Amino acid sequence: MPRISFLGANRAAQYRLRQAFGRLDVVNQQVSTGRAYNRPSDNISASSRAATVQAQVDQMGTFGRSIDDARSHLAVSDTKMSQAVALYQRAGELSTQAANSTYGPDALAAIKAEIIQIRDELQSIGNATYLGQPVFGGLGSANPVTFNSGTSTWNFSGAPSDRLTRTVGPADNVDISITAGEIFSNGTDNIFATLDQLSTDLTSGNIAGIQTAVGKITTLRSSLTSGQAKLGAAANRVEEAANRNSAMKITFTAELSKLQEVDLADAITDQGRLSIAYQSALGVTAKAQERTLLDWLH
Amino acid sequence: MSSSALSIAVSALRAHTYAIETTSNNVANAATPGYRRQRVLLKAGTPREGALGVMGSGVVAEGIQRSNDRLADLRVRGSSAQASYFGTRAEIMQKGEDLFGEPDQGITKELNSTWDAFSAMSVSPTDDAARYQVLSSLQGLTTRVNQVRAGLDQLDVDANARLQGEITDANAIAARIAEINQFARIPGGMPADLADERDLALDQLSTSIGATSTFSDDGRVRVTLNGMAIVDEERSIPLTVSTAPPGKVVLPGGAVTVGGTAGGLSTAITADIPTARAQLDTFVTGLVAALNTAHAAGFTPSGAPGGPLLADSGGVLSVVATQPGDLAASDTAGQAQNGRAAATLAALRDTQGAAFQSVVTQISGAVAGLGRSADTSQSVSDAASAQRDSAVGVNIDEEMTDLVSQQRAYEAAAKLVSVIDSMLQTLIQM
């Protein structure tokens, strides 16, 4: 049995109190911050994993913003294309009526006026914008549908490869645009030149020409509807990505909170236990230290 | 007869007075750091030839013995040098880790907001607000990186100043030990209080610089550092801190490896801080190269190829691009709605995020390792101190027991005097 010296006993008591207080302090910190660790070295593997997961959660946020933008973009395109389909329908009906050759010149002039109006409306649909930028213009910001009065031709800007792309998930890029050239033209004809020709034929009463126009409008309509179908498919992919994204975000956020946050019920129970332990250590030390042989010698 | 009996009684009174004084000195110093319990060595007086043969001549207090345990001293000094070495390194590196501010207020957060900004710019490349957001997040990133670097530099400066102070103190302590060595050979041996002071100084020197000591036969102590003497007989050899390369401690004979607190500071200056700094710098170099390369592949709204985004020179990271129009979002010249180059920049998140995380993991790994070493060596050192205390310290209960027996011995000797006195009285009255 070793001797116990006055200083040694003092130091040992201080050491034990320090230890008890240190343990209490860790739990106090956990309870007050709600975090399982406050610096990476407290728990290297958890903090490293948490940083990776946090980066994923942040990335989910950027995917979410891309998804929202893609949705709005696709909705604008779809509305505009549906309006265009209705106008094609109307142009087809009008030209079919005119081809019946029972109308007089006044009626044909009225039909012509409506055809010109339809053409202008289609042009404004082709130049429609979302947030100030053309939706059917590929990657550029110039008006996609323009009429060159010098050559009397209709021009479309943007190559078919110029698609707006949104990253909606990890390595998941969705094309969300289609160019005016693809929906209003089929390579040989385009709707604007066809309607121009139709209005000339209406003026001159060229029934054969009007009948040709009826056929062309029907053919061109399929380009428009197939474009709409493409964007519809893109919209489906975006919705799928949105569902996946929110499901993943919940998973990652849950993991993050499990890694970073302290289990409050456990921590508070520990706090109570350690606080009692510390108080008892204080009391016992005070009691043990106040007695020496001096108290019994008279 | 009675005169020799009286002188025996007086010798007992004198010896026990010494013993009581020593006990009272022990009690007085029960809480004095470095004090070691003292005992009066009692010895029977030299016998004298008497009529009946050889007779005792009382008791003499031969001297004061100071309790000592050289082995315990060795253990305490060795372990406290280790504890202060690791404790100092752990403390400095923990400050370094705090400078990084991970996980909430650090570079990771700034990096993430930069990738978010690039991603926003890729979605709306025509929106100036998105471009300003990129510029401001790059600014935030560079500011944070520069702050961490400046903090590490300051840590280095502080450690150098502390090392200088530590060595100055150690030199003063070594000089005092050399001075105390002069008293080793005085007749009657070194006074106990000086021995206490010397042993405390040796303790401090091993905590401070990790010095070791050996005692020569004449009682003088020789203090060495890696075999090179810093206290030799009655002179001390001062240590200095070198400025180039910084953080080294030198003796006139050349550089020495110091331990203890000074060793921890020296290792922090020469290895720990530069390593952390180099890891951060390597990451920054990689980040700047990756960002600038990806940006150079893009085109600004005016159709020009993207210039450098960031520059890192002279240890200062700065944003080169200043205007929204300097940012290249498009991968084809002249396409206003093209955000593909910005998307490529935003996609650097994974590789650069992982690269920075590895910097954090390396630094916090070093901190955790040093912290564990510090805790372990501290508890070894505490145990060694406790052992030595138990060997050489004062126990008040013991002193009280001693006091009781000394008091009784004194009282008995006093009683002897009174008995002899009454015997003489009887004789005189006859």
Cα nearest neighbour of B32 on chain A: A7
Predicted confidence (pLDDT) at residue B412 exceeds the cutoff of 70: yes
Question: What pLDDT does A36 receive?
Answer: 86
The nearest CA of chain B is from the CA of A236 a distance in Å of 19
pTM passes above 0.90 = no
Q: What is the mean pLDDT of chain B?
A: 92
pLDDT at residue number B380: 93
Closest Cα partner for A163 from A148, A188, A180? A180
Residue pairs spanning A and B at CB distance below 8 A = 157
Residues of B in contact with A44 (CB under 8 A): 361, 364-365, 368
CB atoms closer than 10 angstroms to residue A128:
20
Q: Which of A11, A41, A62 sits opposite B346 (nearest CB)?
A: A62
Indicate the residue of B112, B386, B397 with minimum beta-carbon distance to A8: B386
Best interface-test mutation with A: which of B337, B340, B370, B400 has the largest number of A CBs within 10 A? B337
**Separation between Cα atoms, residue A234 and residue A70, nearest integer Å:** 9
| CA-only gyration radius of chain B, Å | 37
The pLDDT of residue A221: 93
How far is A51 from chain B, CA to nearest CA, in Å? 7
Asked if the C-beta of A10 comes within 8 angstroms of chain B's C-beta atoms, the answer is: yes
Sequence-ordered list of residues with C-beta below 8 angstroms from that of B81, at least 6 positions apart, any chain: B206, B207, B210, B259, B260, B263
Point out the least confidently predicted range of A7-11, A91-95, A111-115, B94-98: A7-11
Q: What confidence score (pLDDT) does residue A290 get? A: 65
Report whether pLDDT(B2) > 70: no
pLDDT-based confidence at residue A125 (cuts at 50, 70, 90):
very high
- B301 preceded by cis ω (within 30°)? no
Residues of A in contact with B349 (CB under 8 A): 55, 58-59
Q: Give the mean model confidence (pLDDT) for residues B57-76.
A: 88
CB B181 within 8 A of CB B194: no
Tell me what pLDDT residue A298 has. Answer: 63
Type of residue at B144? R
User: Taking Cα atoms as reference points, which of B251, B221, B225, B224 lies closest to residue B234?
Assistant: B221
**Residues 81-120 in A contacting B (C-alpha not used; CB under 8 Å):** none
Arithmetic mean of pLDDT, B54-77:
88
Count the residues in chain B. Answer: 430
Reported as a single tens digit per residue, the pLDDT across B40-59 is: 999 998 888 878 888 888 99
Q: Cα distance from B330 to chain A (closest Cα, Å)?
A: 9
pLDDT confidence of A190, banded at 50, 70, 90? very high
CA–CA min distance A114, chain B (Å): 34
Q: Can you give the pLDDT at residue A191?
A: 94
Per-residue confidence (pLDDT) for residue B277, from 0 to 100: 95
**CB-facing half-sphere around the CA of A193: CA atoms within 13 A:** 18
Distance CA B300, CA A93 (A): 48
Q: Is the pLDDT of residue B1 over 60?
A: no
pLDDT-based confidence at B314, cuts 50/70/90? confident
Best mutation target, B148, B390, B392, B394, to test chain A (most A CBs within 10 A): B390
- Which one-letter amino acid corresponds to residue B286? G
> How many of the other CB atoms lie within 10 Å of CB of A160?
10
A222-231, B101-110, B198-207, B286-295: which range is least confident on average?
B101-110
Q: Residue B96: its chain A contacts at CB < 8 A?
A: none
The average pLDDT across B405-421 equals 92
How far is the alpha carbon of B221 from chain A, nearest alpha carbon, in Å?
A: 26
Residue A228 has pLDDT above 60, yes or no: yes
**Structure tokens belonging to residue A126:** 């082709």
Q: What is the mean pLDDT of residues B133-153?
A: 95
- Chain B residues touching residue A66 (CB < 8 angstroms): 119, 123
B120 contacts A58? CB cut-off 8 A: no
Phi, psi of B248 (to 5 degrees): -100, 145
